[in-house]
Amino acid sequence: MSAVAEQTQVLANRINALDESSTLAMTKMARELAAQGHKVISLSVGEPDFKTPAFICEAAKKAIDDGFHGYSPVAGYPDLRKAIADKLKRDNNIDWKPENIVVSTGAKHSLANVIQVLVNPGDEVLIFAPYWVSYSEMVKLAEGKSVIVEGAFDNGFKVTAAQMEAAITPRTKVIMYASPNNPTGAVYSEAELREIGAVLEKHEGIYVLADEIYEYINFTKEGHFSMGSIPALKDRVITVNGVAKGFAMTGWRIGFIGAAKWIADGVEKLQGQVTSGTNSIAQKAATAAFNGPLDATREMTKAYARRRDLVVGLLKEIPGFKVNVPDGAFYAFPDVSYYFGKSDGTNLIKDSDDFANWLLNNSYVSTVAGSGFGAPNCIRISTAAADESLVEAVQRIKDAVATLK
């Protein structure tokens, strides 16, 4: 047996069963090609290309000077939990007290915590697809069963209330969705979420994990709606959000939940044994973000909307691409299945993984295959990059696919 195979045997089954994050894998490959001297345009990472607003950075510097160097309370500093409760009231019409808030190391950590706290082995978690790559793996780690419900391209990649209802079984414990969505940019309207909510009102044992991390990056006139604001569901909706996307703070690692106290207490208990309170300086920065003005956030959103128009317009000119118009977030998610079965003479493109790999190695544009998002006909292209890079990247893609026959 090879050394690697032997080492793999030693690793716990739960780790061997886990898939590697496809977004991080593509980003790593892109970095390697760039290190070899290739002019790579990296559109695989889900990260704003803006800097964190200055007033937030100042708050972090002040926190260092003021001596916030020690452990913080497990669920977060009281002033941050209060700022988040105020934010939920102001933006989301959700009335939680600070005791209902738990701050964690990014929204990813918040989501993983809730899954660990609510899901028993064999419990079903209904995931609206296309979905963010980590959802199904988080469920796997809790020994739950992911039940994927697919939103159709023609319905803007959104799952309907009827589709969800048909997938509910006596084992369904949680439904999980993101709006605005990664990877599709789909935004569920208030009417759609109320319809989904009406079905859930009939199923008392089902909890909702509402991932609102892209809340502010919303291009619709109607704006964002939170399922947690529906009074009949309030105690069963766990609202997850953070600072990463709206405030360009991916590296600061602050996420939170707003939830019924017994769920928040469960998350605090888990976190108390695994990570403790998150970074004290980042918490002070996040407090400034939630209490501060949203001007910088709105400016960034305007830029994302402009780039969405730019990229969608250019992608529509590529023969065979089926392109949706995202209502939020910063991704385009074209259906590229027209090219499956075609070849450049040497490489046969069988699926979206082949397509994304081939694109990276032939045109040095890194995207992510849709397979990891539960959408095997698509690729995800981040639009969080400079306009010139986006224009050049789409041109490279267009030139590359023209060689496929």
Ligand X SMILES: Cc1ncc(COP(=O)(O)O)c(C=O)c1O
Phi/psi of residue 360, nearest 5 degrees: -65, -45
According to CB under 6 A, which one of 144, 228, 255, 372 is a site residue for ligand X?
255
Rg over CA atoms, the chain: 21
81 burial type by CB count under 10 A (0-12 exposed, 13-18 middle, 19+ buried): buried
Binding mask of the shown chain, residues 54 to 93, with x at each position contacting ligand X by CB under 6 A: ----------------------------------------
3-state secondary structure of 240: strand
| Shortest reach from residue 94's CB to ligand X, in Å | 18
According to CB under 6 A, which one of 114, 213, 227, 385 is a site residue for ligand X?
213
| Helix and strand element counts for the chain (H, E) | 14, 12
Binders of ligand X among residues 333 to 392 (CB under 6 A) are: none
Q: How many residues bind ligand X (CB under 6 A)?
A: 13
Q: Does 242 engage in binding with ligand X (CB under 6 A)?
A: yes
Phi/psi of residue 115, nearest 5 degrees: -60, -45
| Shortest reach from residue 64's CB to ligand X, in Å | 22
In the bound state with ligand X, the residue whose beta carbon lies nearer, of 244 and 318, is 244
Q: Does 178 engage in binding with ligand X (CB under 6 A)?
A: yes
Q: Does 182 engage in binding with ligand X (CB under 6 A)?
A: yes
| Shortest reach from residue 194's CB to ligand X, in Å | 22
Alpha helices in 93-237 (DSSP H): 107-118, 134-141, 161-167, 190-201
In the bound state with ligand X, the residue whose beta carbon lies nearer, of 363 and 371, is 371
308 burial type by CB count under 10 A (0-12 exposed, 13-18 middle, 19+ buried): buried
The crossing angle, in degrees rounded to 10, of helices 387-401 and 295-316 is 20
Q: Does 289 engage in binding with ligand X (CB under 6 A)?
A: no
| 141 neighbors 176 (Cβ within 8 angstroms) | no
Q: Does 297 engage in binding with ligand X (CB under 6 A)?
A: no
In the bound state with ligand X, the residue whose beta carbon lies nearer, of 251 and 313, is 251
For residue 96, CA distances in Å to 60, 223, 229, 262 come to: 26, 21, 10, 13
Q: Does 185 engage in binding with ligand X (CB under 6 A)?
A: no
| Shortest reach from residue 376's CB to ligand X, in Å | 19
3-state secondary structure of 154: helix
Binders of ligand X among residues 103 to 142 (CB under 6 A) are: 106-108, 132
Q: Does 277 engage in binding with ligand X (CB under 6 A)?
A: no
| Shortest reach from residue 45's CB to ligand X, in Å | 9
Q: Give the footprint of ligand X on this chain (CB under 6 A).
A: 46, 106-108, 132, 178, 182, 211, 213, 242, 244, 250, 255
